[in-house]
Amino acid sequence: MSFRPPKGTDDIGAPESNRWRDILRQWDTWADRFGYPLVMTPIFESTDLFERGVGEDTEVVTKQMYTFTDRGGRSLTLRPEGTAGVVRAFLDSGARGAWKGAYSGPMFRHERPQAGRRRQFWQLGVEYLDVEGPAADAEVIELGYRFLSAVDVPGLKVVVNSLGDTVCRPGYMTTLGSYLEERREMLCDDSLALIDVNPLRILDCTVCAPVLADAPAMKDHLCEPCAGHYGLVKKSLDGLSIPFEEDARLVRGLDYYTRTAFEYIATQLDAAQNAVGGGGRYDGLAESIGGRRAPGVGFALGVDRIVLASGKDAGSQADVYLVSETGPENALIAASGLRLAGLSVDFDTEGRRVEAQFKSASRTGARALVVLKGDGDEVDVRIGGEREQMGLDAVPEWLGDRL
């Protein structure tokens, strides 16, 4: 029996999981601040939801999905991304008018595992539905930016582009298609296969980069409403003092984006894995999965990548380590009192020698030490360079000012 988890997955424990917990807590705080309630959808969905919602000819659908038949003969798929499920849930709820939802949870894709890319990976995201105005796009981009700044992703950069809509994109695709057609012999095999399917997706091919440097750009072919929308998104980002760059080759991997597309880049990571997340506007998605028209905008961020990008000290599990000279039963009661008063406390339940308890205390990295003395009520409290004797009851207030 091997105890290794399946290929492409990892067990994540302390201290790395302390960092995860911190990131997930910050996410709750920021999503809440922007008015996004939690939405929880199933981890598996009907396979056709992703075929229609993500796009039948996308790499995600053709090569990466975990699809299985259940005991009732239904084809189900472990969700490879969060948007399709949330939009389905929104349509099912019958809600009308501006609707917000934030999600957080594991996603699954059968990819070649590497640093920052697991087959089970964790995404955080929001969807803002039944909204059309550029302020919605800017608000969504801002939320991701504020959150990533709060969790200390170093060298954070926002990249934006506009992908047009059903009015102006077809004409642009034709222009781009003939540009690429004339340079067929310089394109890689993957790009050649896409030339008649979706030439837009060739734009982010790194192998073909030299051919693409002078390719026509979508932003120069936008219809008037799309150009106006894009202009207002950029103006709003300026107004919010969010630094961004434009990149005409940013197309994202999924078929459903219209108009605004954006990515968050951690410039200090290797180029292959420096996108910590991204998103865009997807005005046609609700219809493509069989629902009514419900324009929307959203993003997804990869927590695995965020953890990799912000190699910050993971912090300790508890604020206080309680050392007992009088046995674990007394420590249990004392720790309980401190915990009910709001402190985070750990102690030794095994009745080991005091020296061993001190060693455990320094290993956990707890910032404060409370030593339970002889009669059990008088304690010795230490934090930083300070040291003070007091009754157990006085500890929460005294430490509360210093932690």
**Looking at 48-56, 160-168, 238-246, 314-322, which segment touches Zn ion (CB under 5 A)?**
160-168
The tokens for 130 are 């039944």
Closer residue to Zn ion (CB): 14 or 223: 223
Closer residue to Zn ion (CB): 21 or 249: 249
Closer residue to Zn ion (CB): 206 or 362: 206
* 212 touches Zn ion (CB under 5 A): no
* 226 touches Zn ion (CB under 5 A): yes
* 283 touches Zn ion (CB under 5 A): no
Closer residue to Zn ion (CB): 125 or 164: 164
Quote the CA–CA distance of 43 and 76 in Å, as a whole number: 10
Check if the beta carbon of residue 128 is closer than 8 Å to that of residue 140: yes
* 191 touches Zn ion (CB under 5 A): yes
Closer residue to Zn ion (CB): 31 or 208: 208
**Looking at 56-64, 147-155, 219-227, 246-254, which segment touches Zn ion (CB under 5 A)?**
219-227
The tokens for 193 are 């296969």
Among residues 12, 91, 173, 223, which is the contact residue for Zn ion, using CB under 5 A?
223
Residue 87, SS3 per DSSP: helix
Quote the CA–CA distance of 37 and 28 in Å, as a whole number: 9
- Amino acid, res. 161: N
Q: Total residues contacting Zn ion (rule CB under 5 A)?
A: 11
Residue 66, SS3 per DSSP: strand
Closer residue to Zn ion (CB): 226 or 303: 226
* 168 touches Zn ion (CB under 5 A): yes
Spell out the residues 6+ positions from residue 240 whose beta carbon is closer than 8 angstroms to its own.
138, 142
* 55 touches Zn ion (CB under 5 A): no
- Amino acid, res. 268: Q
Residue 126 C-beta: closest distance to Zn ion, Å: 24
**Looking at 113-121, 140-148, 183-191, 241-249, which segment touches Zn ion (CB under 5 A)?**
183-191
Closer residue to Zn ion (CB): 41 or 191: 191
* 294 touches Zn ion (CB under 5 A): no
Output the CA–CA distances (angstroms, integers) from residue 371 to 144, 329, 356, 367, 390, in the order listed.
43, 14, 13, 13, 11
**Looking at 11-19, 118-126, 188-196, 315-323, which segment touches Zn ion (CB under 5 A)?**
188-196
* 167 touches Zn ion (CB under 5 A): yes
Closer residue to Zn ion (CB): 180 or 381: 180
* 208 touches Zn ion (CB under 5 A): yes
DSSP result, 280-304: EE-TTHHHHTTS----EEEEEEEHH
**Looking at 58-66, 145-153, 225-233, 357-365, which segment touches Zn ion (CB under 5 A)?**
225-233
* 195 touches Zn ion (CB under 5 A): no
For residues 73-112, one letter each, b for 16 or more C-beta atoms within 10 angstroms of the residue's C-beta and e for the rest, the string is eeebbbbbbbbbbbbbbbbeeeeeeebbbbbbeebbbbbe
Quote the CA–CA distance of 120 and 43 in Å, as a whole number: 11
**Looking at 30-38, 207-215, 267-275, 390-398, which segment touches Zn ion (CB under 5 A)?**
207-215
Residue 272 C-beta: closest distance to Zn ion, Å: 15
Q: Please state the length of the chain.
A: 403
The tokens for 225 are 């409403």
Residue 167 C-beta: closest distance to Zn ion, Å: 4
Q: Which residue has the tokens 């969010």?
A: 242
Nearest Cα residue to 354 out of 340, 342, 372, 336: 372
* 164 touches Zn ion (CB under 5 A): yes
Strand 275-281, strand 296-302: pairing = antiparallel
**Looking at 164-172, 233-241, 282-290, 323-331, which segment touches Zn ion (CB under 5 A)?**
164-172
Distance of CA 301 to the CA centre of its chain: 3
List residues binding Zn ion (CB under 5 A): 164-165, 167-168, 188, 191, 205, 207-208, 223, 226
